[in-house]
Amino acid sequence: MRIDRLRWWHLPAVAEMETAIFGPEAWSEGLLWTELSAGNDYRAVFDGDRILGYAGTALNGDELWLNNIAVAADARRRGVARMLMDDLIERARAHEVKSVYLEVAVDNVPAQRLYDGYGFYGIGVRKNYYQHTGTDAAVMRMDL
């Protein structure tokens, strides 16, 4: 497995993963295009040519937002999410980021456990954040 930059030609596969993982809350290929064209940093874990998982971040001064992170169902429990988290934290430190923020569905316990392990802590809740399901999002922060 290796981490590399996500490129525009990867977006159809990423959009398929989004739909499989997030259902009605999935980001479209067009929205993913917008993310890349805005200069946001997206990385993926590859096994050969196959994308096992990906993460996208947006840098704003000394703050970094983790926009999304996802791992294919058949690639979970293999360290893919940890590879992505370690990579984004390393790059955040290189850019002298002070805080990393994210939003996670309140019912996504596995993701919350991952974030807790990295030192993220809750700072608030966004009610009905996920529009299609009406699920709340926990807002979390990690200080570097």
**Residue 82 confidence (pLDDT):** 95
From 18, 42, 54, 103, active-site residue: 103
Average pLDDT over residues 23-34: 92
Which of the four pLDDT bands, split at 50, 70 and 90, describes residue 59? very high
Q: Is 90 considered catalytic here?
A: no
Q: Is 103 considered catalytic here?
A: yes
Half-sphere exposure of 49 (CA within 13 A, CB side): 3
**Residue 86 confidence (pLDDT):** 97
The model's pLDDT over 74-111, given as tens digits with 9 standing for 90+, comes to 999 999 999 999 999 999 999 999 999 999 999 999 99
- How far apart are alpha carbons 19 and 37 in whole angstroms? 21
**Residue 25 confidence (pLDDT):** 87
